[in-house]
A and B are shown apart, each in its own frame.
Chain A
Amino acid sequence: MNFLKKVGPVAQVVAVAGFAMQPVLAHHSGAGFGTETREISGTVKEFQFTNPHSWIQVNVADASGKIVEWSVEWGSPNQLGRDGYRPATFAPGTKVSMKVHPMKNGAPIAGFVAAKFPDGKTIGNWDAE
């Protein structure tokens, strides 16, 4: 979360707005993702800040307590980087809640909508959906 403090509130708004204006998943069709929004909570395992899209790997406990690794797809690191995000944005070990659009077939893979950290800081439009 240091990067959000670093860039300041105005840049945060610009960053979120800039991100929202981008055709984020332009590389492919968003195949398999539904439109329903689901909230998941867990611990960041890895942030793949790589092209063509970044992926946030999050360990999430299911209803039975079993840990399931979710893959959450986000934008290209190039655009995210220009919007102020960094590989440390989702540092391994960080607790996080996410709003995502999961795959329609139930696989633990989803498109990113927004994230909220324990200190209340958010990325994306957390309150929109």
Chain B
Amino acid sequence: MHRNRWAILATVSSALVLAPSVSYGQGGTLTPFDKLPDWSGVWSMTGGTVFDTATQTGKGGSVTPGVREHPPYNPAYEKIYTGHLALRDEDRYPDVQTNCGVPVGFPRILNLPDAYEFVVRPDVFYIIAENGGNTMRVYTDGRKLPAKEDTWGTYTGVSVGHWESDTLVWQTIGLKGSRDNDSILDRTGLVLSDAAKITTRMRKINENTLEAKMVIEDAKALTKPWEVTKQFRKNKPGLFLYDYGCAENNRNPVDQATGKTFVLGPDGKPAN
């Protein structure tokens, strides 16, 4: 009996030692700078802005009529997506990013044109996307993910990670999903719910390529985990990144009432 009790205790203790697989923190031990991989430089996403090209059908980009992806949506979210696709085909899907007001959020921050910097520090990992501009933080200082009741839904959520050799593994919760119709994954109209939980494994697969493999779980929207991979190529050294004042001269605002994207003439009035 005692032996069994000790066996159970040992099992539980082992589970606690392996806490990173649960909490995604790294137990308060910081990985020193010299043990971290070099992800310096300027990077650009490869391919266009279709979020999941592995399941894409139809030829073209995310705004091309007929193009769609096939996440393992349940019937309710498939219906939502089908509705968005129909609007997209009529050029009336309202992408609020076009009004330059809110962040793109996660995981769309890994689905942007222009340039990226990936800043690796012992305590935190930053994704700095020039487009937007958009920023995301992944804490690697040993903290644990907050309890669900301590999250309230934000565009990039809350992320905690740890290093497994040269791979950064992090989990993201607390996403707002499509609650206010202002968080989407791409312009085909892919959305997730506020129940989304995303586990990302990011590493260099060669000197010039970073890869982020995401496993998206969403009990409200998906029937099974959805795996999506994005890659980033390293640009030539010495490039400058700049600020990106989206509202500086936005001549393509979206009418939120109709979803229509305006094209403003030189007089500032819609030409369409």
Contacts and interface: CB of A to CB of B under 8 A. Distances in A.
B245 interface: yes
Contacts of A105: 271-272
Contact of A26 (B113, B235, B240, B241): B113
Interface size band for B: 35 or more
A28 B272 contact: no
B113 A31 contact: no
Task: Find the residue from A22, A31, A73, A108 having the highest chain B CB count within 10 A.
Answer: A31
Task: Find the residue from B239, B246, B252, B254 having the highest chain A CB count within 10 A.
Answer: B252
A57 B268 CA distance: 13
Q: Chain A binding site: helix, strand, loop or mixed by DSSP?
A: loop
Interface string B245-257: 1101111101000
Q: Chain B binding site: helix, strand, loop or mixed by DSSP?
A: loop
A106 B59 CA distance: 27
Contacts of B120: none
B21 interface: no
B49 A51 contact: no
A126 to B, nearest CB: 23
Contacts of A79: 113-115
Interface in B104-131: 112-115, 130-131
B246 A109 contact: no
24 contacts: A22-B114, A26-B131, A27-B98, A28-B98, A29-B63, A29-B91, A29-B95, A29-B261, A30-B63, A31-B91, A31-B262, A32-B261, A52-B244, A52-B246, A52-B249, A77-B242, A78-B130, A78-B241, A79-B113, A103-B272, A105-B271, A105-B272, A107-B265, A108-B265
